[in-house]
Amino acid sequence: MNCPECGTWAIVKETRSKQDNSTRRRYECANLHRFTTIELTQATLNQLKQSTMKTNLEIETRDTVDTATAAQYLNYSRQTLLRWACEKKGPLQPLRIKGARKLQWRVADIQKLIGGV
User: Is residue 24 one of the residues assigned to a domain?
Assistant: yes
Residues 99 and 59 in one domain: yes
Query: Which pTM was predicted?
Result: 0.53
Indicate whether 71 pLDDT > 80: yes
Q: The domain containing residue 97 runs over which residues?
A: 44-113
Sign (positive/negative) of CA torsion 7, 12, 14, 18?
Answer: positive
Residues 98 and 50 in one domain: yes
Residues 48 and 97 in one domain: yes
Give the pLDDT confidence score for residue 111 in this predicted structure: 86
Partner residues linked to 6 by β-bridges: none
Indicate whether 1 pLDDT > 60: yes
Indicate whether 116 pLDDT > 60: no
User: Is residue 5 one of the residues assigned to a domain?
Assistant: no
Structurally, the chain folds into a number of domains equal to: 2
More confident residue, 74 or 47: 74
Q: How far apart are CA 108 and CA 58, in angstroms?
A: 10
Indicate whether 35 pLDDT > 80: yes
DSSP structure class, residue 24: E
- pLDDT class of 54 with cuts at 50, 70, 90: low
- The region that residue 70 occupies, defined by phi over 0 for left and psi between -120 and 50 for alpha, beta otherwise, is alpha
- The percent of residues above 70 in pLDDT, for the chain, comes to 87
**Which spans in 1-117 are helix H?**
42-58, 67-74, 78-87, 107-113
Q: Which of 9, 10, 111 is nearest to 60 (CA)?
A: 111
Indicate whether 51 pLDDT > 70: no
Q: How far apart are CA 110 and CA 117, in angstroms?
A: 9
